[in-house]
């Protein structure tokens, strides 16, 4: 009876151990270098907030296209106005209202395509040989689920991989499922979902290795953790009964 009790307790201890095969990243497969790409293209989407800066030798010619907005701040000396460059919000139709040029359909364009569109409309009628810089000022990604610091993160340089995003969130918890990380993305007006396996080196050739603005990463808990959470309501009763049985068995063995 005593040996049986020891075996039961040992089995319960083993059931709580986590296999390293379910934890260590990049264990399986080999990297196919022919499929590895370091290129990334930013695509303009609805709700993007764009800062568009136009410069040229003729500063007066570009002035109408670089409008300033004024942000009011409460200071010790009263309310002060702080000028900043006007940003353009891409509406649900993928359009912005640009000075002089009016409504422009830019949703779905890459950054380079947008720059080329603006150059064609400005040169030579308004500005000769303009230099155009486009930046998404609200470029962000979100990481949810079983990570140390879930949340949304602003990405100033507009370039981030799924591994860097997980690092921003403080890495996965030990209870996280690593073989089925979900990436939710909007493409061509439709919601799409991808799954990647952090245990495999194939992640480096995944189409979602480089994230896009507003991507949402969801990290699921592993099966054991989910089962444990589901049984929490009866855990107290189970522990009480187990403790009582151990006490009875201990008294009987004396």
Between CA 156 and CA 188 the distance in angstroms is 24
Domain shared by 144 and 33, yes or no? yes
CA nearest to 178, candidates 214, 212, 211, 147? 147
Domain shared by 57 and 130, yes or no? yes
The DSSP-derived string for 111-165 is HHHHHHHHHHHHTTTT-SS-EEEEEETT-EEEEEESBSS-EEEE-TTS--BHHHH
For residue 109, the domain's CATH number is: 3.30.1950
Residue 62, domain member (yes or no): yes
Q: What is the pLDDT of residue 227?
A: 60
Q: Where is the domain boundary, 136, 161, 196? A: 136
Mean predicted confidence (pLDDT) in 12-36: 72
8-18 pLDDT, tens digit each: 444 444 444 55
Is a pLDDT exceeding 60 seen at residue 32?
yes
Is a pLDDT exceeding 80 seen at residue 238?
no
Query: What's the sign of the alpha-carbon dihedral 98, 103, 107, 110?
Result: negative
Q: Where does residue 122 rank: exposed (0-12), middle (13-18), buried (19+ CB within 10 A)?
A: buried
Number of domains, the chain = 2
Residue 118, domain member (yes or no): yes
Query: What's the sign of the alpha-carbon dihedral 216, 186, 178, 25?
Result: negative
pTM, entire model: 0.75
Domain shared by 53 and 167, yes or no? no
Between CA 158 and CA 141 the distance in angstroms is 10
Residue 231, domain member (yes or no): no
Torsion of CA 179, 180, 185, 189, to 10 degrees: 130
- Between 65 and 253, where is the model more confident? 65
Residue 240, domain member (yes or no): no
Domain shared by 35 and 143, yes or no? yes
Domain enclosing residue 54, as ranges:
49-136
Helix (H, G, I), strand (E, B) or coil at 210: strand
From residue 122, how far is each of 15, 64, 90, 157, 171 by CA, in Å? 68, 12, 20, 27, 46
Domain shared by 84 and 196, yes or no? no
Is a pLDDT exceeding 60 seen at residue 254?
yes
Q: In the structure encoding, which two tokens stand for residue 12, read together?
A: 């319960």
Domain shared by 95 and 165, yes or no? no
Window from 20-29, 45-54, 103-112, 127-136 with minimum mean pLDDT: 20-29
Contacts of 14 (CB under 8 A, 6+ apart): none
Domain shared by 53 and 104, yes or no? yes
Question: Residue 235 in contact with residue 202, Cβ under 8 Å?
Answer: no
- The radius of gyration of the chain from alpha carbons, rounded to an integer in Å, stands at 28
Domain shared by 155 and 166, yes or no? yes
Domain shared by 60 and 126, yes or no? yes
Mean predicted confidence (pLDDT) in 25-54: 90
Q: Where is the domain boundary, 136, 157, 179? A: 136
Domain shared by 36 and 103, yes or no? no
Domain shared by 36 and 147, yes or no? yes
Domain shared by 132 and 144, yes or no? no
């Amino acid at each position: 009876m005593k040996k049986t009790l020891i075996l039961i307790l040992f089995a319960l201890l083993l059931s709580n151990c986590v296999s390293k095969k379910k934890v260590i990243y990049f264990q399986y497969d080999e990297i196919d270098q022919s499929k590895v790409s370091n290129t990334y293209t930013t695509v303009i989407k609805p709700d993007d907030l764009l800062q568009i800066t136009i410069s040229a030798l003729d500063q007066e010619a570009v002035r109408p296209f670089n409008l300033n907005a004024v942000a009011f701040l409460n200071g010790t000396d009263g309310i002060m106005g702080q000028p900043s460059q006007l940003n353009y919000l891409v509406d649900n139709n993928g359009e912005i209202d640009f000075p002089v040029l009016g409504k422009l359909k830019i949703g779905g364009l890459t950054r380079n395509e947008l720059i080329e569109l603006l150059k064609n409309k400005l040169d030579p009628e308004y500005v000769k040989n303009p230099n155009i810089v486009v930046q998404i000022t609200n470029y962000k990604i979100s990481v949810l689920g079983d990570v140390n610091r879930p949340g949304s993160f602003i990405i100033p340089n507009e370039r981030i991989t799924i591994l860097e995003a997980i690092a921003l969130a403080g890495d996965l918890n030990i209870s996280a499922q690593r073989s089925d990380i979900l990436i939710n993305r909007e493409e061509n007006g439709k919601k799409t979902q991808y799954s990647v396996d952090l245990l495999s080196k194939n992640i480096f050739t995944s189409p979602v290795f480089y994230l896009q603005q507003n991507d949402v990463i969801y990290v699921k808990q592993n099966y054991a953790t989910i089962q444990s959470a589901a049984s929490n309501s009866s855990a107290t009763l189970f522990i009480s009964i187990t403790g009582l049985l151990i006490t009875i068995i201990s008294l009987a063995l004396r």
